[in-house]
Structure 1
Amino acid sequence: MENTTRAEQAVEYKRKCNCAQAVLLAFAPELGKSKEELMAVSSGFGSGMGGMEGTCGAFCGAVMALGMLNKSDKPSKMIAKDMMQEFKEMSGATICGDLKGIKTGKMLCSCDDCVRHGVEVLEKRLAEL
């Protein structure tokens, strides 16, 4: 993929923080916020909001970054809707518990791959703005 470098950087960040934080940190230079601020604002989104029962943290991080980076006339929620569909196609779901197979015992996508997918869907949309 064309975004391998940033996606792999996000995976490296994931070793020391949650999935939402990892995706946001990968976009830190463009976001104009300190790493501490990005870590704080995304701290509650790891492990899926609601303890794996909510939306994947990596996807949440991508949408948070989108909101800060979208300077177009197209509402971020509309772009996020497209991102969500693509993320779901890539990962198999958007809910953390479903991705991890909590109820089924079948993992659909690893955290590392979810982080990669979050970065990739965001990079694609940013390139289109």
Structure 2
Amino acid sequence: MDLDSKEVVAKIEEFRKTKSCSQATLMGICAVAGLPTEELALLAKGFSGGIGGTFSEGTCGAVTGAVMALGLLGEDENKIISASKRLFDEFKDEYGSVTCGYISKDGDDKSPCVEVCLYTGDKVCKYLKE
């Protein structure tokens, strides 16, 4: 699947104004793919704040949203699993952790949140092209 990364980034930025990282990432990627976003917002709601607001224990919502998008848009299960692992590893290398609390200082500093959403959205676009 060939998604325009610039369109995905713009959609994620738009959704992140009112939605959590998991919601904005999933919705932004899938909106560009032509999927309806209202139900996706509901699906991703519980992943906010590192899964249910666990912050220091939970996975970053940008990662969970991106993995959900890979599952919805990817065609081959093995490629989806491989891309999900690759995303996890590359994200961890880039940001030092995949834990929401590490990135957001347990929710006290959400300044990196848009950046991590855009990072994962761009990665999903690349992976889906391969």
Tell me whether the two structures share a fold, i.e. TM-score over 0.5. yes
Amino acid at match of 1:65: A
Q: Quick one: structure 1 residues 30 and 50, their matched pair in 2 at CA, closer, same or farther if it must change by over 3 Å?
A: same
Q: Tell me the TM-score normalized by structure 2.
A: 0.82
What do residues 42-70 of structure 1 show as CA deviations (whole Å, max 9, x unaligned)? 11011111421200001100000100111
Q: Given the alignment, which residue of 90, 101, 104 partners 1:100? A: 104
1:2-54 CA distance string (max 9 Å, x none): 8234213202211111111101111224263x221111111101111142120
The CA distance in 1 between the partners of 2:80 and 2:34, in whole Å, is: 15
Residue segments in structure 2 that go unaligned for 5+ positions in a row:
none
Residue 58 of structure 1 contacts residue 114 of structure 1 at CA under 8 Å; is this kept in 2? Answer: yes
Aligned pair count reads 124
Counting aligned pairs with the same residue, the percent is: 32
Distance 2:49 2:13 in 1: 15
Distance in 1, Cα, partners of 2:67 & 2:128: 11
1:5-84 alignment runs, 5 A limit: 5-26=7-28, 27-30=30-33, 32=35, 34-51=36-53, 52=55, 53-72=57-76, 74-84=78-88
Structure 1: gaps spanning 5 or more residues = none
Question: CA offsets, 1:58-90, max 9 Å, x none?
Answer: 110000010011112524222200111112223
Cα pair 2:7 2:32 within 8 Å, conserved: no
Residues 87 and 121 of structure 1 are in contact (CA less than 8 Å); yes or no, is this contact kept in structure 2? no
CA RMSD of aligned residues (A): 2.4
In the other structure, the counterpart of 1:126 is 128
The normalised TM-score by structure 1 is: 0.83
